[in-house]
Amino acid sequence: MNGRRLLAAAAAGVLVVLTVAPPAWAAQHPPPKVERTSPPTLDKQGPITGTITANEGQTLQGAEFTLTSEPGSSGPGGDRCLIDLPDQTYRDTTRETFSFDPTFLCNGAYKLVIKVFYENPGLIELAPRQPAETTVTLEFSVAIKPAQVKGLGASYDAATREVRLTWAPNPEPDTRYLVERSPAGQARFSPIGAGPVTGTEFTDPDIGDGQLYRVISVRPGPAGGEITGDPSVFVRSGPEAPRPTAPPPSQGNSGGGSRAGGNPSRGGARPQGQAPANNRFEQTLPFDPSQTTTTVTVPPQADETPEDAAVLAEFDDERSDTERRRATLVPVAGGLALLVGAMHLFLLSRRAGEMSDIPIVPR
């Protein structure tokens, strides 16, 4: 009987340990901590980053990542706005980082659901490790403004007084376009039409030409609002402004200074200010003053540069150099001539002195 009682007491003790120990053991080993390190709102394309940190005695074995749209978000949702994220496998580590760099096609509120697989230590030492898992959800928003509208053009129909605008579509889905107009010669743009349009063309009826237009892209935001892009380059409706024409060539100075009429700066041409007229000479006497040469005064032509002024200037420079060299060499040559003459006279005087010492023998 005593033996049976001891066995019953031992079994009851084991049952108590099995029923009481797991809750206390589980409280000592909370699930790993998951944190997001990227900003909660992405205003441009960029990575989603975070860390997974195990508690003491735990080891990480892997994680699964799922991207979903938050219900009630202004984003369009659907499969085309979601991106598949790869799973990760760990090998008994205690801290891991994750980083995903998807291209978000849609703005809105998102959820990153992370299921972490890990192991806790056993109930007693040397006991097998206990596998476990936990699920954490990280919320963030995407609020990326749309790209600037490209390829805007305007055409004006004078018969219908209509301006037709066309532009290239944006790469982002669910993008609409706001058309703005400003009077010619001003920069006061204001929206026209009933609101943003979904297509890539717009007709402005019964308007004069010369108006200024620009288009702004619009996307849904993460909290029910809208995000606008940068305005496009504005265009002007109607025909292009005529280009200024070159002024007609001056009619002054006709004949003078040209090759056909002779260059007044060249030799042989008539001097400025005088022009012969009615040149008649009688070869027989008596002399008739009325038949002599008459002159006509011509006003000098101002600021007239001959076509070969550069050649003449070079010729004048060469002539000036020659005259300068001649003016330098003449005094030098004269000085040398005087020196030679002086030496010649000196030699003659010496010779005369030597001859005076020769005795004269009478015959």
Do the Cβ atoms of 239 and 187 come closer than 8 Å? no
Looking from the CA of 227 toward its CB, the CA atoms found within 13 Å total 23
Do the Cβ atoms of 227 and 235 come closer than 8 Å? no
Q: What is the pLDDT of residue 238?
A: 72
Q: What is the pLDDT of residue 311?
A: 46
Predicted confidence (pLDDT) per residue in 304-359, tens digit: 555 555 544 554 555 556 666 666 666 777 778 888 777 877 777 776 666 555 55
Asked whether residue 103 carries a pLDDT value surpassing 90, the answer given is: no
What string of DSSP letters covers 42-59?
Answer: ESSS--EEEEEE--TT-E
Domain 153-236 has CATH 3.40.1260.10: no
List the single range of 75-89, 99-113, 124-138 with lowest mean pLDDT: 75-89
- Write down the mean pLDDT value for the chain: 74
Range list for CATH 2.60.40.10 in the chain: 153-236
Q: What is the pLDDT of residue 288?
A: 60
Phi/psi at 297 (5° precision): -80, 125
Amino acid at 144: I
Q: What is the pLDDT of residue 348?
A: 75
Asked whether residue 223 carries a pLDDT value surpassing 80, the answer given is: no
Tally of residues, the chain: 363
Q: What is the pLDDT of residue 262?
A: 43
Task: Name beta bridge partners: 36.
Answer: 50
Measuring CA to CA, which residue among 76, 73, 145, 146 is closest to residue 111? 73
What does the buried/exposed string (b/e) look like for 294-321 if buried means 16 or more CB atoms within 10 Å of the residue's CB? Answer: eeeeeeeeeebebeeeeeeeeeeeeeee
* pLDDT confidence tier of residue 209, bands split at 50, 70 and 90: confident
Q: Which CATH superfamily is domain 28-142 in?
A: Macroglobulin (MG2) domain (2.60.40.1930)
Range list for CATH 2.60.40.1930 in the chain: 28-142
Q: What is the pLDDT of residue 256?
A: 40
